[in-house]
Amino acid sequence: MTDIVLIALGAALINNFVLYYFVGICPFIGVSRRVEMAFGMGCAVTFVISIAALLSWTITVFVLKPGAPLTTYLAGFFMSSKDAANVDLTILCYTVYIFAIASSVQFVEMYVRKFYPPLYKSFGVYLPLITTNCAILFACLTIMSHVVGVDNPADTWDLGRSMTLAVFGGIGFTIAIVIMAGIREELQLCDIPKAFRGAPIALIVAGILALAFMGFTGVNNGLRKALTPAPVTVQTASMNAEAAKTN
Amino acid sequence: MAEGPTPLERFIQGILPENPVYRQLLGMCPTLAVTNGLKPALTMAAAVAFVLFCANVMISLLRNLLQPHLRIVIFTLTIATFVTIADRFLAAYVYQMSKALGPYIPLIIVNCIIIGRCEVCASKQSVVTAGADAIGQSLGFALALASLAAVREILGTGMLFGIQVLPAAWPDWGVMVLPPGAFLTFGLLLGIANWLSTRKSGNR
């Protein structure tokens, strides 16, 4: 439970996708002129990021990582079972993820257009743009780095933790882009030097926002201390033992 | 085929007149993320140059086989393959740097510069033109990254490539190497670039 809270807060506020990791800057600058548009974009990204995280976690655990069940089973037809358990397909992960994201976005778009026309009208137009949004791929890669090559089995992310990262990362993106759009609506009333109109002033505003979000770093440290007293450590230790047993 | 731009024209266009970062505002994610020092910035630029060149040449060779509705998928899969090669290469030879760049190397896949060049140039023109275009664009990208990184590293740490360039009494502007510094520096440099180009065209 503790790490779920930490992951959620970390993704949404402390290490905000846009203002800390710089992913998803293109829509952040491009679609942040009006608040409703920004909110639509944010919802669409949250939606797609959740689907992509679900897909990438499933693919990584069942197909790509060393000793994944599906790969081991299929490889068992061609080689001894000992070799089959060592087949490692992680090198394919980038190609597989980008393909999964692109095709799922395509399917979601078709589905939404057919069955929920009002929803399609409100955010469907942003869907194709999202395929090349780095935030989606970034979430998949973060999940992968916590699933593959983790020494301690208890630290390996399960589906719950992965989905928490994705959903709250999307919410963090929405928060950032809506704040940005609010500021930019006011900026239209300002007398900005000609050379700085448009993207330059938006970037400077984003810099000031990022400064404000840096304040959450302190929250992270305090929260970690507050949420991990002695009893929790004992509990995690017993959980570790359990996980080791099941492995 | 109609008279397309010559290879040399494409090469020169990429460096300043159509600079991918300052003029077209593409590929901003790595631009902001890896420019806290000159060394990671140049490594990133080299990786992008490799991927851009290979992808442009490959797409240009395939251009007569491309189906219009499948082209974006082909572009992304080609790029993803070359990014995997670049990523493995960096992990094998400069492990520390590869660790420091982290997820930003795989994020080259969704870098709009490369998809944009494949779409605009490589899928329509000959191999030589596409190659020259890729080299020009990647030089422009490297130039932009280097300018941003140099400003941030000098102001943030007083050093360049790890060598002290400002007097030791310089109070390091720590914020410049942190995320907010990236936004502020890029915003200011972009404004200055706009100002310079409007002044130039006004004089003409």
pLDDT tens by residue, B154-183: 888 877 777 777 777 777 787 888 888 888
Residues A137-192 pLDDT 10s: 889 988 888 888 777 777 788 888 899 999 999 999 999 999 999 998 888 888 88
Token pair in block for residue A193: 């030097």
* Interface contact flag, A141 B194, Cβ < 8 Å: no
d(CA B70, CA B153): 43
Alpha helices in A86-229 (DSSP H): 93-115, 117-123, 127-130, 134-147, 159-187, 199-214, 216-227
Question: Is the predicted pLDDT of residue A120 greater than 50, yes or no?
Answer: yes
pLDDT of residue A175: 92
Q: Which residue on chain B is closest to A208 by alpha carbon?
A: B180
* pLDDT band, residue B47 (cuts 50/70/90): very high
Closest residue to B180, CB basis, from A194, A199, A207: A207
Whether B150 and B160 have beta carbons less than 8 Å apart is answered as: yes
What distance, in Å, lies between the first and last C-alpha atoms of chain A?
A: 22
d(CA B39, CA B150): 10
pLDDT of residue B89: 92
* pLDDT band, residue A121 (cuts 50/70/90): confident
Whether B53 and B131 have beta carbons less than 8 Å apart is answered as: yes
E-strand stretches of B12-162: 159-160
Query: What DSSP letter does each residue of A175-211 carry, written as one string?
Result: HHHHHHHHHHHHHTTS---GGGTTHHHHHHHHHHHHH
Whether A207 and B183 have beta carbons less than 8 Å apart is answered as: yes
Please state the rounded mean pLDDT for residues B26-42. 84
Whether A144 and A56 have beta carbons less than 8 Å apart is answered as: yes
d(CA A144, CA A131): 19
**CA of B133 vs chain A CAs: smallest distance (Å):** 22
Label the pairing between strands B163-164 and B159-160.
antiparallel
Question: Is the predicted pLDDT of residue B88 greater than 50, yes or no?
Answer: yes
ipTM for the assembly: 0.82
Q: Which residue on chain A is closest to B81 by alpha carbon?
A: A95
Residues 181-200 of A with CB under 8 A from B: 193-196, 199-200
d(CA B104, CA B102): 6
* Interface contact flag, B106 A94, Cβ < 8 Å: yes
* pLDDT band, residue A243 (cuts 50/70/90): low
Question: Is the predicted pLDDT of residue B67 greater than 70, yes or no?
Answer: yes
Residues A20-71 pLDDT 10s: 888 888 778 877 778 888 888 888 888 889 988 999 999 988 888 887 888 8
Q: CB neighbours of A145 closer than 8 A, spacing ≥ 6?
A: B103
d(CA A129, CA A197): 24
Tell me the pLDDT of chain B averaged across its residues.
83
Least confident of A130-139, A155-164, A232-241, B119-128: A232-241
pLDDT of residue A102: 83
